[in-house]
Structure 1
């Protein structure tokens, strides 16, 4: 049986489209497997650094200001109105230098009243002493009378006894003896009464004197309050600030003035709380006053952070340069430790300390991403523990925008 043949032209009609489809699929798969071309950057736009080996100084920096070591805040002891201000900020003062005067009519009236009460108590003491002494004299007079009567009764009783059989009866004798015995008892009672009056005199006078003493203390306190209204510096130094105005009414505890000693200053700097973990008291420090560098040491570290920073006090060991004054802006550098013979590099942007990280290393016109392990850090340098060798050149610039690529062409 004969099989009909398909013409070649007909077979080509469906074979060519199939071949084209296969070619398109192969091209698509090949293109999909191709990696994206590496981006190209100018070398001048990159910040590069070289890995070095040797000693590395760990230090932290912070900005702050110079403050006096000793600051005297002058406050008011009583309420009053600012009547006069004689001090001016910047003037040198001594302990008795007048700064201002306050007025308070009620306080002056209370001082006068306290003095009047002292005078009244002293007058009461004189009257009491006179009255008690008069009573004591009366008691002594009564005792003398009783003693005289007792002596007379004893003499009469003796006389009656001797002449009992002739002139006096036995009843008269017993009566005189009883009279003498009674007077003897009354004399003893009178003596006790005198002792009681004398003790009462001493007790009442002592109590009144204590009362006078207390009133004198009140009067002295009121007088001291009045004297305190004449505000004085109270110490040597420079008057830095007077935060009150004429006519202002102030209450007890209000700050009236601030006196400092400008020749004795210290630095207060603010260090990032992340960098402050290695700070300890006694570490060497340097303070840049913009007019000279002064050596010092860490004297105090704040126990709490404030707005992401820790306040550190630096005691200055060297002489201050000219122009150094309170509230001058300064920069402090604190030395943490010196590392000997370590591998280190300038600190890359966004690097993490004490852990793994990635960094771009320069190799033959390209920057290649590699994994490294970084260690202890300083302000501008960081220790390299793994992943780099001495002499390697790395990119220190911020490469966050190239996180999706592993290589960057550098021209």
Structure 2
């Protein structure tokens, strides 16, 4: 008797089936990934700015633009209305302090000067006459005092003699009293005239002082008028280069109009304009590197404006070394002001529109792709910015403007 034994399916078929399913899944995933990669936006690596995050010392700087200006400028202005009679020097001319730049003409000033001289001369003549009159009055009064003094002495002697005669009985008491009265009267007149002489001296001194003051006042006016006439010949006043003469012959100019300016080209400073958001960190004495387009020159901050104009602050920079050849007034320059040195920090190139101590999203390069990551920034400089978090030393980041890909978190680089 034979028993039937059930047959079992071979296990090889199950293994083959599992392998086939696995291969199919891998193929599907591979195709899906390939399609996903092919669907990512593609950016040409050569068209974007990629920088590497570094660790170490970062120099904080702020940048300003401006120009070279003379440390001292002498403005040539009109002190009185006049007509331009002659222009003897033009812009760019080398001048000395006594060089006449512009000659002006004003006939009224000539007449005023002549009248002032006449009044001064008349006052001086009056002073001489006054001195003579007062001297004569003083001499006359002195003669009066001397004459009365002599009469008083004579009267005193006669009174003494009459007294002696009266005691001897040769002269009456009445005649003796009359003689003594005349002596006393003359003595009183001498005292009175002597007082008048002192008063006359004081009065003469006051009159002379007043007239001398008048002469001095009129002399000052005459000198002022002569100076006005001399100022019609407008001189440079200092040695330097004439920067500008914006007037023409025959032109009528009023008081205060600028006829030109004289600069000393060997003494220049830089005037930089720094954005108000960056100027808050600038301090007097900080080091500055100025690019004159013909070399870099070291300087230092010597002054800052207290007010903001058009969103910028003006900063003056003095140079510690001679300027390179070709430096001249109004030359455009760039300057970098050193704020501080940060040690042991992460930093990277400064992306466009990045704000200090702000948060941004940046594309970090990972192989052939770039992935968007959040980055916290710290203190910034002209070209670099501190990285607080979100990146590590050696990471590569796209710093170009990626606003065109704001809707995606991953791009493919080719």
- Normalised TM-score (structure 2): 0.84
Residue 44 of structure 2 corresponds to which residue in structure 1? Answer: 42
RMSD over equivalenced CA pairs, Å: 2.3
Per the TM alignment, residue 385 of structure 1 is displaced from its structure 2 partner at its CA by 1.5
* Number of equivalences: 377
Residue aligning to 2:329: 326
- After superposition, where does 1:1-400 map in structure 2 within 5 Å? 38-164=40-166, 168-400=171-403
CA distance change for structure 1 residues 172 and 351 in 2, over 3 Å: closer, same or farther? closer
Shift of 1:269: 2.0
Pick closer, same or farther for the CA change 1:236–1:163 going to 2, 3 Å: same
Please state whether the residue corresponding to 1:278 is helix, strand or coil.
Answer: coil
CA 1:170/1:250 → structure 2, altered by over 3 Å: closer, same or farther? same
Structure 1: gaps (5+ residues)? 1-34
Q: Per the alignment, do residues 309 and 137 of structure 1 end up closer, same or farther by CA in structure 2, a change over 3 Å counting?
A: closer
The CA deviation at 1:347 is 1.8
SS in 2 for 1:274: helix
Distance in 1 between the 2:309 and 2:201 partners?
72
Between the aligned partners of 1:218 and 1:290, the Cα distance in structure 2 is 54
Which residue does the alignment assign to 2:29?
none
Once residues 172 and 354 of structure 2 are traced to their aligned partners in structure 1, the CA distance between those partners, rounded to angstroms, is 136
1: CA distance, partners of 2:222 / 2:85: 24
Shift of the 163–105 alpha-carbon distance from structure 1 to 2, 3 Å rule, reads same
Question: 2-side partners of 1:392 and 1:361: how far apart?
Answer: 7
Helix, strand or coil at the partner of 1:307: coil
Measured after TM superposition, the shift of residue 356 of structure 1 is 2.4
Per-residue CA shift, 1:140-194, capped at 9, x if unaligned? Answer: 3333443344344344444444444776433222222222221221121122122
Structure 1 window deviating more from structure 2 (260-269 vs 165-174): it is 165-174
- The 2-side partners of 1:151 and 1:389 are apart by 124
Q: Distance in 2 between matches of 1:145 and 1:45?
A: 122
The answer to which of 199-208 and 257-266 deviates more is 199-208
Query: Larger deviation: 248-257 or 220-229?
Result: 248-257
**Partner SS, residue 378 of structure 2:** strand
Q: CA deviation at 1:120?
A: 1.1
Paired with 2:121 and 2:241, the residues of 1 have a C-alpha distance of 43
Match of 1:22 in 2: none
Query: 1:43–1:199: structure 2 CA closer, same or farther, 3 Å change rule?
Result: closer
Deviation at 1:124, TM superposition (A): 1.3
**Displacement, 1:38?**
4.2
Following superposition, the deviation at residue 66 of structure 1 comes to 1.2
Deviation by residue 1:11-37 (Cα, 9 ceiling, x = unmatched): xxxxxxxxxxxxxxxxxxxxxxxx9x6
* Residues 186-234 of structure 1, C-alpha deviations (whole Å, 9 max, x = no match): 1211221222222222221122112212221221122122112111111
Give the gaps of 5 or more residues in structure 2.
1-35
